[in-house]
Amino acid sequence: MIKVRFAPSPTGYLHIGSARTALFNWLYARHYGGKLLLRIEDTDRTRSEKRFLDEIVEDLKWLGIGWDEEPIHQSSRFEVYRQAAESLVRAGKAYRDGEAYIFKVEKSRVIEFEDMIHGKISINTDEIKPQVMVKSDGSPAYNFCCVVDDAHLGITHIIRGDDHLSNTPKQILFYEALGLKAPQFGHMPLIMGPDGSKLSKRHGGVSVEEYKREGFLPDALVNYLLLLGWSPGGDRELIPLADAVKAFDIKDMKGVQAKFDLTKLRWLNGEYIAAKDPGDLLPMIKKQMQDAGKGVLPDDKTLIRVIGLYKTRIKTLSEFVQMTDHFFGDTYAVEEKGVEKHIKNPDSKKILSDFAARLERVNDFSRNSIEEECRAMAENAKLKPGQIIHPTRVAVSGKTTGAGLFEMMEVLGREKVIERMKKAAL
- C-alpha–C-alpha distance, residues 153 and 85, integer Å: 18
Domain for residue 323, yes or no? no
- C-alpha to C-alpha distance for 260 and 204, rounded to whole angstroms: 9
What's the mean pLDDT in 354-382? 95
Cβ(388)–Cβ(378) below 8 Å? yes
DSSP 3-state of 140 = strand
- Whole-angstrom distance, CA of residue 420 vs CA of residue 395: 6
Distances from the Cα of 97 to the Cα of 86, 129, 134, 335, angstroms: 12, 15, 10, 70
Query: Listing from the earlier edge strand, what are the strands of the sheet with 100-103?
Result: 94-97, 100-103, 131-134
235 versus 412: the higher-pLDDT residue is 412
- Write out pLDDT tens, residues 263-300: 999 999 999 999 999 999 999 999 999 998 887 788 99
Considering the chain, what is the average pLDDT of its residues? 94
Q: Is residue 26 part of a domain?
A: yes
Q: For 404, which DSSP code?
A: -
DSSP, collapsed to helix, strand or coil, labels residue 161 as strand
Domain limits at 58?
Answer: 3-188
Domain boundary among 149, 168, 188: 188
Residue 202 located in a structural domain: no
Boundary residue ending a domain (153, 168, 188)? 188
Arithmetic mean of pLDDT, 117-145: 96
Is beta strand 94-97 parallel, antiparallel or unpaired with respect to 100-103? antiparallel
pTM for this predicted structure: 0.92
310 neighbors 403 (Cβ within 8 angstroms): yes
Distance CA 20, CA 243 (A): 17
pLDDT tens-digit series, residues 316-334: 999 999 999 999 988 899 9
126 Cβ neighbours under 8 A, 6+ residues apart: 107, 108
**In contact, 75 and 82? CB cutoff 8 Å:** no
Cα–Cα dist 213/276, whole Å: 19
**Contact status, residue 180 vs residue 25, Cβ threshold 8 Å:** no
Nearest 5°: phi and psi at 158? -120, 115
CATH number at residue 93: 3.40.50.620
Q: Name 73's bridge partners.
A: 40
Q: Is residue 270 part of a domain?
A: no
Measured over the CA atoms of residue 290, residue 295, residue 299 and residue 302, the dihedral's sign is negative
Residues in contact with 293: Cβ distance below 8 Å, sequence separation at least 6, in sequence order: none
pLDDT at residue 201 greater than cutoff 80: no
Q: For residue 104, is it within any domain?
A: yes
10-40: b (≥16 Cβ within 10 Å) or e = bebbbbbbbbbbbbbbbbbbbbeebbbbbbb
pLDDT given at position 17? 93
CATH number of the domain at 375, please. 1.10.10.350
Among 229, 184, 246, 233, residue whose Cα is nearest residue 30: 246
Last residue of a domain, one of 134, 156, 188: 188
Q: Who's near 114: CB < 8 A, 6+ residues apart?
A: 120, 121, 184
Length of the chain as a residue count: 426
Domain annotation covers residue 327: no
Cα–Cα dist 48/365, whole Å: 59
Residue 298: inside a domain, yes or no? Answer: no
**pLDDT digits 0-9 by tens, 179-195:** 999 999 999 989 888 88
Are the beta carbons of 49 and 10 closer than 8 angstroms? yes
The total of structural domains in the chain comes to 2
pLDDT at residue 258 greater than cutoff 90: no
| pLDDT of 115 over the 80 cut | yes
Rounded mean pLDDT, 61-86: 97
* Residue 262 domain-assigned (yes or no): no
33: part of which helix (H) or strand (E)? none
Q: How many CB atoms lie within 10 A of CB 255?
A: 13
- Which uninterrupted H or E stretch holds 95? strand 94-97
Residue 202 has pLDDT above 70, yes or no: no
